Amino acid sequence: MRILVAGGAGFIGSHLCENLIQQGHFVVCIDSLITGSKHNIEHLFNNNFTFIEHDIVNTINMDDIDQVYNLACPASPNKYQKDPISTIDTNVIGTKNLLELAKRNRARFLLASTSEVYGDPQQHPQREDYFGNVNTFGPRACYDEGKRCAETLSYEYSRMYGVETRIARIFNTYGPKMQVDDGRVVSNFIVGALTKHEICIYGDGSQTRCFCYIDDMVEGLVSLMGSDCKTPVNLGSDHEVTVNELANRVNAIFQQEINVVWQSIPQDDPMKRKPDLSKARRELNWNIATPLDMGLEKTAEYFQGQIVSHD
């Protein structure tokens, strides 16, 4: 197939491009390079792969596309909060442009949505039928509400125009090719341990998260695209750990004295986040395969190489 991956030079997108090429597909990667990097995809250039630098907020004209993956939006809070209007435009106008492209090509469309649509959840774990607890006036609203609107657009294009749409609600994902300054907890802990021998914990560290390794997430996205499931599906790990426990696991990898710095918790940062994966297991026959400690070791090895190469 000929597959378009928007945001294909980013963290998840670049791994997805590689997976699709390995399956024998031709991949067209478009990325504005605002947070993506050509470094993530340069090893793919001699394969069935085309890269186009393009912002999906602008119209996209392309023919002979069989599938469209929309991963084109900064996903870490410090990135999407930097320009909140651009974040909203990417999620709303950009998603509409890609849906129009899918409609013209009669292509199947997958939206990379997010666990952020649940906000600071009052349901635990979060099921896909939970409507969420989102602050529309908070600093995270540009991303949370942008993704919620993108889901609505996907639904309406399916209902009104018959576009085959799939929606993945992605929970915390980590692994190689995350940015050094990504700002999310796994990269923060590993980079802090490597560069400053310190880890910064917000709040008291009792908040919980579930972490899915990138290879497992990509398998989930590909499985969802190939499925008959037209309603949102949670993708992630349901192995819940506290932030303090994560810090201890990172400490164990480096086997050295690492200081802990405590800071106040950011506004609207959820205390608990854990997906109910019943639907993914039932509809996709999908589950994570990479243990957290193994994934953290692979990620730490990647960041160590990145930091050494930039010294």
**Residue in 69, 80, 143, 174 annotated catalytic:** 143
Q: Name the phi and psi angles at 74, rounded to 5.
A: -55, 140
Task: Return per-residue pLDDT of the chain as tens, 311 residues.
Answer: 999 999 999 999 999 999 999 999 999 999 999 999 999 999 999 879 999 999 999 999 999 999 999 999 988 788 888 899 999 999 999 999 999 999 999 999 999 999 999 988 899 999 999 999 988 998 999 999 999 999 999 999 999 999 999 999 999 999 999 988 888 889 988 998 888 888 888 888 898 999 999 999 999 999 999 999 999 999 999 999 999 999 899 988 987 777 888 888 877 777 888 999 999 999 999 999 999 999 999 999 999 888 765 55
| 143: annotated active-site residue | yes
In the block, residue with structure tokens 């540009």: 142
Q: Are 77 and 140 in contact (CB under 8 A)?
A: yes
* pTM strictly above 0.75: yes
Cis ω on the peptide bond leading into residue 125 (within 30° of 0)? yes
